[in-house]
Amino acid sequence: MLDVGRHPNITLLAYSQVEEVEGEAGNFKVTVRRKARYVDEDKCTGCGACAEKCPTAVADAFNEGLGTRRAIYSYFAQGIPSTHTIDPEYCRQLKGKKCGICAKTCEADAINFDQEDRMLELDVGAIVMAGGYDIFDPSLIPEYRYREIPNVVTAIEFERLLSASGPTEGHLDRPSDRAIEAEIEGLEKKAKKSQRVINKFEEKHEETSPAFYEKYQAGDFDGDEDRKKWADKFEAHQKIMEPLEALKKKAETFKVAKRLAFIQCVGSRDFRFYPFCSGYCCMHSIKEAIIAHEHGPETTSAIFGMDIRAVGKGFEEYKIRGGNHSNITYVRGRVAEITEGENHNPVVTYEDTHERKVKDQEFDMVILATACAPTRGVKALAAILGVELDAYDFIKTTPTAPVDTTVPGIFVCGCAGAPMDVPESVAQASSAAQRAAEVVFVLPSNKEKAVA
């Protein structure tokens, strides 16, 4: 990626959106909206000092909402260009409130609240669509109770929990435990604020609150409004401290997740949603189970699926190695439902096809291998480019020309065209680049034009 950013013949237009496309193969005119970052890319060094001082915390989409980011942020570490962006939806300054802390903090003077969107017109010979994909929303399958049971997560959410740069720094802390820890943090802030008020009363009357409150309940200060306020504040403080102490005691028992269940084909190979196989889910689950075992040797994983489709070179050997060395058990069969047991532990109900029995098994966490779904906005983008979509809203291609769209000069690669894993996506990207090069360089009139 760094090489791409530094290449003299490549211009990166990050944080931009295609608005209009006209023309034909070899002679396209593309209108692009460069969105306002409110940060000067040429000045920003990506140091992150602004984000450290920003007072506004919001859910972090890159971490699937499992962590938070600031109103000024870098989408992810090592991103190119290495710059920050201000989110106008949450920025206090852009909302008309008094703030501007990021501008005061930035030593590079890169903050510009007056920045506006810019429109660019590009003359290009060929276009490659690489829009990626979105994951299927498993809440559409009510029997799996995603979003109802906190420790049922998607594979991409689990990926962020495994990552050293993720919200848990790679520790498999359960979402239910993290929610309690967040509640403890909130109560501690309230308790600290409440304690400051009580301290003022104690200093004023030179007496501890418990000793005063005992006298107050005995009726020693009837009619004393000041002491009544003190008593009310002390009672409110106790109402904060009691649940806080109970939650802290509970948090002492928290441990990382060690019993994992992976459920395959959530939304895929399912005629209610997507009848096709998403291709990469089986190997993705095996990889995550192996990494989880590397994090904690006591970790065990059960992968529930109709079958394991390890179709790439070395994939079958990787699957077997996971079973032999990473405490992975492969269970054949679809999971019927997930319920919640004690301590927020998910309980998986499934049929053991070898014994032909219905069984229940409790886990610390359940990971749903969700289907590869068409990316959001693909219909709008397809309309702008004039390309056709297939029955599932992926970019339409043909078996004999897998990177050619229905419009000459416009090509597609990766999951924008169909579900596929990383090696296949890389191979397709090379193929799409070659097809685009044929349009740009084979025709003499197009030798000076670039590829978008």
Mean of the per-residue pLDDT values for the chain? 93
The mean pLDDT of 187-191, rounded to a whole number, is: 96
Closest by CA to 379, choosing from 393, 359, 399, is 393
pLDDT band for position 345 (cuts 50, 70, 90): very high
Q: What gap in Å lies between CA 98 and CA 412, rounded to an integer?
A: 46
Task: Please give the Cα distance from 426 to 451 (Å, whole number).
Answer: 18
Mean per-residue pLDDT, 172-198: 95
Predicted confidence (pLDDT) at residue 364 exceeds the cutoff of 80: yes
Cross-strand partners of 361: 348
* pTM for this prediction: 0.90
- Provide the percentage of residues in the chain whose pLDDT is more than 90: 86
Beta carbons within 10 angstroms of residue 390's beta carbon = 12
The pLDDT value recorded for residue 444 is 53
Predicted pLDDT of residue 8: 87
List pLDDT tens digits, range 130-155.
999 999 999 999 999 999 999 999 99
What is residue 445's predicted lDDT score, i.e. its pLDDT?
54
Q: How far apart are CA 228 and CA 217, in angstroms?
A: 10
Find the helix packing angle between 281-295 and 315-325, rounded to 10°.
30
Q: In this structure, what token pair is assigned to residue 201?
A: 């009363």
